[in-house]
Structure 1
Amino acid sequence: MDRNVQRLDVLNGGSAYGVDSQRVLRNTYWLLALSMLPTIGGAWVGLTTGIVAHMAPGMSMILFLVGAYGLMFGINATKNSPTGVFMLLGFTFFMGLMMSRLLGVVLGGYSNGASIVMTAFGGTAGVFFGMATLATVVKRDLSGLTRFLMIGAIIAIVASLINVFVQSTAAMLAISTAVMVIFSIFVMVDIKRVIDGGETNYVMATLSIYLDLYNVFQSLLILLTSLTGDRR
Structure 2
Amino acid sequence: MRLNTAISRPEASILATNKMLKNTYMLLAMTLIFSAITAGAAMYLNLPHPGLVITMIGYFGLLFLTTKFSNSSLGLVFVFALTGFMGLTLGPILNMYTQAFNNGHELIMTALGGTGVIFLGLSGYALTTRKDFSFLGGFLMVGILVAFLAGIGAMFFAMPGLSLAVSAMFILLMSGMILFQTSAIIHGGETNYILATISLYVSIYNLFLSLLQLLGVFSGDD
Q: TM-score, normalised by structure 2?
A: 0.89
**Which residue, 44, 49, 52 being the options, matches 2:48?**
52
1:37 equivalent in alignment to 2:37: no
Distance 2:126 2:29 in 1: 18
Distance 2:84 2:76 in 1: 13
1:33 aligned partner, one-letter code: A
Distance 1:89 1:112 in 2: 31
**Structure 1 position 97, deviation (Å):** 0.7
**Which residue, 175, 178, 183 being the options, matches 2:166?**
175
Distance 2:170 2:14 in 1: 36
**Which residue, 137, 143, 146 being the options, matches 1:146?**
137
Distance 2:78 2:48 in 1: 21
SS at match of 2:71: coil
Report the counterpart of residue 202 of structure 1 in structure 2: 193
Report the counterpart of residue 222 of structure 1 in structure 2: 213
1:84 equivalent in alignment to 2:80: no
Report the counterpart of residue 103 of structure 2 in structure 1: 112
**Structure 1 position 29, deviation (Å):** 0.6
Report the counterpart of residue 125 of structure 1 in structure 2: 116
Report the counterpart of residue 9 of structure 1 in structure 2: none
1:96 equivalent in alignment to 2:54: no
2:21 aligned partner, one-letter code: L
1:172 aligned partner, one-letter code: S
Distance 1:207 1:19 in 2: 22
> Is residue 25–residue 194 contact of structure 1 (8 Å, CA) maintained in 2?
yes
**Structure 1 position 101, deviation (Å):** 2.6
1:63 equivalent in alignment to 2:54: yes
Residues 43-84 of structure 1: CA deviation (Å, up to 9, x unaligned) = 12322333333x5xxxx1111111111111111122122221
**Structure 1 position 173, deviation (Å):** 1.5
Distance 1:139 1:94 in 2: 34
Gaps of 5+ in 2: 1-12
Change (3 A) 1:216 1:49: same
SS at match of 2:141: helix
Gaps of 5+ in 1: 1-16
SS at match of 2:179: helix
After superposition, the CA RMSD in angstroms is 1.8
> Is residue 176–residue 222 contact of structure 1 (8 Å, CA) maintained in 2?
yes
Greater per-residue helix proportion: 2
> Is residue 131–residue 188 contact of structure 1 (8 Å, CA) maintained in 2?
yes
Give the fraction of aligned pairs with identical amino acids, expressed as a percent. 32
How many residues align? The count is 210
SS at match of 2:134: coil
Distance 1:24 1:38 in 2: 21
> Is residue 112–residue 230 contact of structure 1 (8 Å, CA) maintained in 2?
yes
